[in-house]
């Protein structure tokens, strides 16, 4: 896909989402960004998109609400007159003991990390069909992609991210005839969470065969590949520095 003059929606603009948005704008795309609580980060990314000479649409959305999933997709398409790319990056990541994982705790994660990706994709497909095709990039996790849970306390997150892989494969089959390619990225150690101690950072580096954190550019390059390719669909690409082989 030639990116020039096309339009994308990225759900979630904090940290890596903002980096992806900026790179897509640099490549000639108009970019819409949805955010929940990270308004300052989203607005900053929007300003950088405009500074790159492209149009930006920045809006709040609570993607746990199905109506808001459709609304943010339609608003992006209306703002640009088209929608060619959807990047489902919105995610909830927090540890919770199994004993505290009730229905509310389960839904708080699964509704964002899995259901919202489906609902946003479903809303985006009619717009992509009108444009003759499109790209959907979902986000999983290197642990889910490795095929087995490794860390206790992340039950809903693991299940949702494993589901994102299944969703990617099933959507790829459903939408292939429309030339809508659906793939996923499974990040590993990319950016250290706020508050990570030097000792914790070193432990991650030691556990990663490449011996370092990947940095946001590693994800940006993977997303670009999955948008630009015209013959890869139904795949999940691990961007984890080799964590899954150790």
pLDDT digits (tens, 9 = 90+) for 132-185: 999 999 999 999 998 889 899 999 999 999 999 999 999 999 999 999 999 999
- Number of domain units in the chain: 1
Q: Percent of the chain having pLDDT more than 90?
A: 91
Distance CA 187, CA 19 (A): 15
Residue 51 lies in a domain: yes
What is the mean pLDDT of the segment spanning 97-120? 97
Give residue 13's pLDDT.
77
Range of the domain at 66: 7-245
Residue 132 lies in a domain: yes
Residue 140 lies in a domain: yes
CATH of the domain at 146: 3.40.50.720
Residue 76 lies in a domain: yes
Distance CA 1, CA 86 (A): 13
Q: Which candidate in 35, 154, 157, 158 is catalytic?
A: 157
Distance CA 67, CA 45 (A): 25
Spatial contact of 149 and 158, defined as CB atoms under 8 Å apart: yes
Residue 1 lies in a domain: no
Q: What is the model's pTM?
A: 0.96
Residue 68 lies in a domain: yes
Each residue's pLDDT tens digit, 203-244:
999 999 999 999 999 999 999 999 999 999 999 999 999 999
Known active-site residue 35 = no
Residue 22 lies in a domain: yes
């Amino acid at each position: 896909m030639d990116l020039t003059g096309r339009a994308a929606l990225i759900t979630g603009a904090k940290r890596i989402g903002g980096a992806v948005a900026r790179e897509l704008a640099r490549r000639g795309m108009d970019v819409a960004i949805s955010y929940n609580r990270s308004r300052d980060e989203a607005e900053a990314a929007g300003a950088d998109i405009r500074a790159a000479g492209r149009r930006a649409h920045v809006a709040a959305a609570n993607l746990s609400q199905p109506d808001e999933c459709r609304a943010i997709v339609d608003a992006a398409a209306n703002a640009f007159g088209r929608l060619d790319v959807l990047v489902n990056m919105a995610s909830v990541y927090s540890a919770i003991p199994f004993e505290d994982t009730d229905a509310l705790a389960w839904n708080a994660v699964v509704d964002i990390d899995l259901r919202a990706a489906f609902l946003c994709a479903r809303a985006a497909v009619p717009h992509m069909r009108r444009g003759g095709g499109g790209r959907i990039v979902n986000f999983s996790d290197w642990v889910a992609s490795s095929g087995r849970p490794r860390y206790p306390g992340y039950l809903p997150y693991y299940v949702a991210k494993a589901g994102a892989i299944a969703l990617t494969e099933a959507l790829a089959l459903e939408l292939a005839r429309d030339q809508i390619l659906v793939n996923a990225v499974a990040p590993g150690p990319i950016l250290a969470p706020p508050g990570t101690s030097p000792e914790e950072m070193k432990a991650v580096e030691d556990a990663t065969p490449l011996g370092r954190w990947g940095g946001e550019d590693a994800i940006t390059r993977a997303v670009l590949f999955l948008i630009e390719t015209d013959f890869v669909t139904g795949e999940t690409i691990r961007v984890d520095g080799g964590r899954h082989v150790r």
